[in-house]
Amino acid sequence: MAKVYEFLANGFEEVEALAPVDILRRGGVEVKTISVTGNHLVESSHGVTIKADLLFEEISNFSDVDLLMLPGGMPGSKNLNEHEGVRKALKEQFESGKRVAAICAAPLVLASVGLLKGKKATIYPGMESYLGDDAEYTGALVQEDGNVTTGGGPAASFPYAYKLLSYFIPQEKVEEIQKGMIYDRLISSK
């Protein structure tokens, strides 16, 4: 079974954090939320408090994790970027060829660590400068480039999560989950 960790800092965006966790778990992926606050309770950017599965300090290493992901939100993304343990884990994950993902404002963390050099990426509109000169901003809802996946904001949460799920289960299973969540009706209502 694939294993995914999602880092949570105070100020995270709720939809971007929880929709991917929900969708990945529906697909049979083991997902753990990891608080970087020193407390299991983490407060979102809109005042919703959730209980993380683990504290960052409880993890001895990340070598058995298939994907590390970051939700956006402010000041959550800034708080993740200031956490040296998160920065180190992301860099090691990326350098080992494993997947990293970030949505909304959180791609700024990937850029800050140097993981977007020469990559196509997206970020919340208006935050393009945070990607730096080394990344190519695409403005897509979801952008994949090698082992890096980025999403553009709250509305991207579902397609972003389904893209992440597609790395671990066959596409036909992803489509079954989309149908069960009536995602197909959302897309066809354009």
Task: Quote the tokens at residue 189.
Answer: 């209502």
Out of 18, 34, 101, 104, pick the active-site residue.
104
**Residue 107 phi/psi, 5° resolution?**
-55, -20
Task: Quote the tokens at residue 150.
Answer: 């980025």
104 is known as an active-site residue: yes
DSSP 100: E
* Helix-helix angle 171-180:157-166, to 10 degrees: 150
Cis peptide before 75 (omega within 30 of 0): yes
Measure Cα distances from 167 to 1, 83, 114 in Å.
12, 27, 23
Q: Where are the extended beta strands (E) located within 71-178?
A: 99-103, 120-121, 136-137, 142-145, 148-151
> Cα(111)–Cα(134) distance, rounded to whole angstroms?
8
Residues that are catalytic: 104
